[in-house]
Structure 1
Amino acid sequence: MDSAIQTQKYQALVVMGVSGCGKSSAGQAFAEALGWALHEGDTYHAPESIAKMRAGTPLTDADRSGWLDRLAGLLATPNAGGSAGTVLTCSALRRRYRDRLRQAQPHLGFVFLQLGYDAALARVQARPGHFFSPALVADQFATLESPAGEAGVLVLDATRPIPALVNDVLAWMNADKAGSPQATAAATDTNGGLA
């Protein structure tokens, strides 16, 4: 597995989507399957930003700026600590946020876990003790600029079982590595079908 991972097109993956889409669970599973390091993006928020989210106050671009800089720093050295790569969970809702992360790591792929509003709200409401207020779910959807159609993005249905998502990610990365027309077409069909 190690030799296969070292030849992957991507050195880092961002698992993205609205709150409640399952970034943490899926990101952990992807990292384990790849043998990569995992970074939970929420842990890099400033204390002031966490307090705002707990109170149900949406973050501004200014609030997210330092957070994105910290995440970009993680992605700039995806092999730190001897890992073959990095998996980062991060909402990455706007195109400019994703572009900021791409500037730090040119070999960056995004896995967008797509989920509808009602399902996201139900999942967030079911997370006792988490700092993210359910009142902010609507703001997440208002902020979201879908990455479907952007290069290096795999769109997946977040309601599918985690093992199926892992299989899709591994197949996508291997298809990109192979670079064959058939493999590329398969990845495009997956993106287009769920966009």
Structure 2
Amino acid sequence: MQHLIVMGVAGSGKTTVAVLLAQRLGWTFAEADDFHPPANVAKMAAGTPLDDDDRAPWLATIAQWVSEADAAGRSTVVTCSALRRAYRDVLASAAGDVRFVHLEGDPELIGARIAQRTGHFMPPTLLPSQLATLEPLRDDEPGVVVPIGAPPEEVVEQALVALGLEGAAGTDGGLASGRGLDDGHAPD
């Protein structure tokens, strides 16, 4: 099975792009934020960046979920900031063919997006720490870098072409939801 991890800093459009990818491909969607334990959510909501000790069990849980989906014969699309290579290595250890879609864009655009969204626990004040933590996807990692300046549908098309995947054109747009789609979470 194939698994896409849509990665990038907060506000880069991970949820929007991931949902559209999952719809086009007919794959199961999951929002990595929904895998955070309550202590992580509270820490971020208070404006405190997570550290590696906070992230380790969260990343392991996501990788386990992907492996379980793989064993059940389901391909997936998962959002996850995956800011460091070490975090991506944990995610890439999941069963199946795991690839990354790194959404990259101008920090001013991303900051404006964060300022406009409501109902999300990630405050705009944490964007600088995410940008400082970000280790861009490297050539030896499985995946592609896609710019976010275009409308989401074009970003998805660019990602599909770069990945060599054909979208499920002509589908009813249905989405097999794993975790997170119907939780009222505002897309980033």
- Does TM, normalized by the shorter one, top 0.5? yes
Give the CA deviation at 1:28: 0.1
1:104 Cα offset (Å): 1.6
Structure 1 segments unaligned to the other structure (5+ residues): 1-9, 176-195
What is the distance in 2 between the residues matched to 1:169 and 1:140? 23
Q: Is the 8 A contact 1:13 1:86 kept in 2?
A: yes
Q: Is the 8 A contact 1:112 1:147 kept in 2?
A: yes
What fraction of aligned residue pairs are identical, expressed as a percent? Answer: 41
CA distance in 2, matches of 1:120, 1:174: 27
Which residue in 1 is equivalent to 2:55? 64
Q: Map residues 45-124 of structure 1 onto 2, 5 A cutoff.
A: 45-79=36-70, 83=74, 85-124=75-114
Name structure 2 gaps, 5 residues minimum. Answer: 166-188
Q: Secondary structure at the match of 2:69?
A: coil
- Decide which moves more: 119-128 or 163-172: 163-172
Structure 1 residues 22 and 34, CA gap change in structure 2 (3 angstroms): same
Residue 144 of structure 1: which of 126, 134, 149 is its match?
134
- Does 2:145 align with 1:155? yes
Q: Helix, strand or coil: the match of 1:58? A: coil
SS at match of 1:13: strand
Larger radius of gyration: 1
Higher helix share: 1
The DSSP-based 3-state class of the residue aligned with 1:91 is coil
Structure 1 letter corresponding to 2:129: D
1:106-163 CA distances to partner (integer Å, 9 max, x unpaired)? 5111000002221111111111221101110000001000114233211011121112
The number of equivalent residue pairs is 166
Question: 2: CA distance between counterparts of 1:53 and 1:119?
Answer: 21
Contact 2:45 2:123 in 1 (8 A): yes
**What CA deviation, in whole Å up to 9, does each residue of 1:33-92 have, x standing for no partner?**
000000000011110110111110000000001100110111113346663x10000000
Q: Which amino acid aligns with 1:158?
A: I
Q: Which has the higher contact order (CA 8 A, sep 6+)?
A: 2
Deviation at 1:167, TM superposition (A): 1.6
| 1:14 equivalenced with 2:5 (yes/no) | yes
Which residue number corresponds to residue 31 of structure 1? Answer: 22
Q: Which amino acid aligns with 2:121?
A: F
- Secondary structure of the residue aligned to 1:87 is strand
Could you tell me which residue of structure 2 aligns to residue 134 of structure 1?
124
Whole-angstrom CA distance in 2 between matches of 1:80 and 1:38:
16
Residues 1:173 and 2:146 aligned together: no
| Backbone CA RMSD of aligned residues | 1.8
Distance in 2, matches of 1:55 and 1:150, equals: 36
